[in-house]
Amino acid sequence: MRGPHNIWRLIRTGATLERTGAMGAILDAMDAPRPVRILARTVAWPFAWLGYKGDPSMPPATRALTALGPAYIKFGQILSTRPDVVGEEMAWHLRVLQDKLPPFSIEQAKAAVAAELDLSVEEIFEEFSEPVAAASIAQVHRARLKDTGEQVAVKVLRPGIERAFQRDIDAFYFAADVIEFLSPASRRLRPRDVIEHFEGVVMGELDLRLESASASEFAANTVNDQGFKLPQIKWGLSGRRVMTMTWAEGVPLGDNDAIDAAGLDRRVLGERVLQLFLSHALRDGYFHADMHQGNLKVAHNGDIIAYDFGIMGHIDEYTRRVYAEILFGFIQRDYQRVAEVHFEAGYVPNDRDVDEFARALRAVGEPIFGMDATHISMGRLLNYLFEVTERFGMETRTELILLQRTMVVVEGVARSLHPQINIWEVAKPVVQDYITQSMGPLALARDLGKTLRVLTRFGPRLPGLVENALIRQSTGPEEPAKPSGKAPVLWAILGAVIGGGLVAAIEALL
């Protein structure tokens, strides 16, 4: 229930951060301004005794987030990929949250498998190990199939995980409402919409049948990608709370020492991770949206192996083209074009000055262009980007949250492998290839071909549909048109032509 009782949950959150010492550690690591530190500590200190104690053997931040529960652990997993934001030491400590959390018992796991598959573990598997990895939502066991002897990974949801997540999400909704009420300026960031988006993502993670389907679709899209492999889903041994897949043998991508010992080139691996993500996002519009080190391995031949497909991102063709143009504009240092794309896509209100926005973007891009990652302060950069979004009234785009979040995580993973990586140089060939394929003459011909197929399919109905749409558009206030939830015809087609999405517009109208 989303009511004032959630105040208690939020108080305990602040109290736990203070009691475990995480409050000061996180603020110090992120180089928070002194007034912010004083305010946070002053508010939390009187309630410290109410906080969860956590595991004293853990470092402060890891101890606090683990004690607070799965939703907070997700946040810690993101920070664990950004040593440039929270510092090397804290990032290293937070990596425990990726796959080394306290597991639940093997007896509970076996009971969950039997309940889900209607067969006992002994009937299905010749061997079934203790947990080999445990994260916020599930844990993984290594097993051997009884009938074929094949090595597999069995993923089992944590008992009671649905209720634990819902409790945290309810508190987040309450916090978002309070923030919007107390700070009208924060509404452009759409905190409630962000929490709603987060809830949708998490709820999808809690049904392993959906994860199995995501893995299958992702495998079909990437089957020809060089240097990239995925485990295969065992559909007959998977259900809502249990998922079985082939075992992925390799070195954890977060273990640099093991990677070096295996004779693998970390620079190549860092570049490959970044390019694979961009390729999946731009080419397919479907990407792994939880690509931290705990979900990635490296095979002995250098192939990147991805697993854990609970969070997948999807972006439509129009958004992909906008994203690619923005990236390519930065790569080319064409800040005027980057600014124009933001305005054309509606990311910046039309009443703002496009030239002024271009100058603000230049102030973002020029200091970091051509520099390797070790010379870039992500903390200062993110702070300035926030100032820019506030100055130009840019609202949070919920459709881009997963894309932006994953880009932050993947860049962090690439940096951890190769600290001197230059993301612009690495991204350039992927973005350039996508633009060539999707915005040139051949792309136009493909778009026209798709449009003709749509028109052919709906040809007999098209005249009447267009006539009805034009009548609705011209209807005055005396005769209100019936709401259809669709954009006016002319604006829909015009916007689609500008963005290269004519097919989508016609299908929406039909």
Q: Are residues 89 and 165 in the same domain?
A: no
- For residues 231 and 250, the answer to whether their CB atoms sit within 8 Å is no
Instruction: Centre a 10 Å sphere on the Cβ of residue 386 and count the other Cβ atoms it contains.
Output: 12
Instruction: Say which residue the tokens 């051949």 belong to.
Output: 442
Q: Are residues 361 and 502 in the same domain?
A: no
Asked if residue 164 belongs to a domain, the reply is: yes
Structure tokens at 2: 């989303």
pLDDT of residue 82: 67
Give me the number of domains the chain comprises.
4
- For residues 181 and 173, the answer to whether their CB atoms sit within 8 Å is no
Q: Decide if 290 is catalytic.
A: yes
Q: Which of 133, 134, 83, 130 is nearest to 107 (CA)?
A: 130
Which amino acid belongs to residue 493? Answer: I
pLDDT of residue 30: 66
Q: Are residues 121 and 13 in the same domain?
A: no
- 247, 282, 299 — which closes off a domain? 247
Q: CB-hemisphere CA count at 13 Å for 446?
A: 10
Spell out the long-range contacts of 340-344 with Cβ–Cβ below 8 A and sequence spacing 24 or more. 344/498, 344/499
Q: Are residues 264 and 325 in the same domain?
A: yes
Instruction: Centre a 10 Å sphere on the Cβ of residue 128 and count the other Cβ atoms it contains.
Output: 18
What is the rounded distance in angstroms from the CA atom of residue 466 to the CA atom of residue 489? 8
Task: Return phi, psi of residue 380, to 5°.
Answer: -65, -40
**What's the sign of the alpha-carbon dihedral 262, 266, 272, 274?**
positive
Asked if residue 205 belongs to a domain, the reply is: yes
Q: Are residues 272 and 358 in the same domain?
A: yes
Asked if residue 353 belongs to a domain, the reply is: yes
Going by the DSSP 8-state scheme, the letter that residue 266 receives in this structure is H
Asked if residue 341 belongs to a domain, the reply is: yes
pLDDT of residue 234: 95
CA distances from 424 to 3, 380, 393 (A): 46, 19, 27
Q: Are residues 171 and 216 in the same domain?
A: yes
pLDDT of residue 163: 84
Q: Are residues 236 and 261 in the same domain?
A: no
- 209, 225, 247 — which closes off a domain? 247
Asked if residue 328 belongs to a domain, the reply is: yes
What is the rounded distance in angstroms from the CA atom of residue 8 to the CA atom of residue 4? 8
Consecutive H or E run containing 369: none
Asked if residue 458 belongs to a domain, the reply is: yes
Out of 84, 99, 168, 290, pick the active-site residue.
Answer: 290
Asked if residue 380 belongs to a domain, the reply is: yes
**Cα end-to-end distance, the chain, whole Å:** 40
Q: Between helices 441-458 and 502-509, what is the axis angle to 10°?
A: 10
Q: Are residues 92 and 152 in the same domain?
A: no
- For residue 459, what are the domain limits? 441-509
Consecutive H or E run containing 356: helix 354-365
Q: Which of 380, 379, 382, 326 is nearest to 357 (CA)?
A: 326
Q: Are residues 24 and 150 in the same domain?
A: no
Q: Are residues 414 and 309 in the same domain?
A: yes
Per-residue pLDDT of the chain (510 residues; tens, 9 = 90+): 555 667 777 788 888 888 888 887 877 776 666 776 777 777 777 777 888 888 888 888 888 888 888 878 877 877 776 666 677 778 788 877 777 788 999 999 999 999 999 999 999 999 999 999 888 889 999 999 999 999 999 999 999 888 888 888 888 888 778 777 777 766 766 778 777 877 777 777 889 999 999 999 999 999 999 999 999 999 999 999 999 999 989 999 989 999 999 999 999 999 999 999 999 998 999 999 888 888 899 999 999 999 889 889 888 888 888 888 888 888 888 889 888 988 888 888 888 899 998 998 888 778 766 665 555 555 555 556 666 777 787 776 666 777 877 887 888 889 889 988 888 788 888 888 888 877 666 666 766 777 777 667 666 776 777 777 777 766 654 444 443 433 333 333 333 333 334 334 334 333
- 439, 456, 483 — which closes off a domain? 439
pLDDT of residue 224: 93
pLDDT of residue 463: 73
What is the rounded distance in angstroms from the CA atom of residue 101 to the CA atom of residue 68? 13
Asked if residue 1 belongs to a domain, the reply is: no
Q: Are residues 422 and 472 in the same domain?
A: no
Q: Are residues 163 and 210 in the same domain?
A: yes
Instruction: Centre a 10 Å sphere on the Cβ of residue 261 and count the other Cβ atoms it contains.
Output: 10
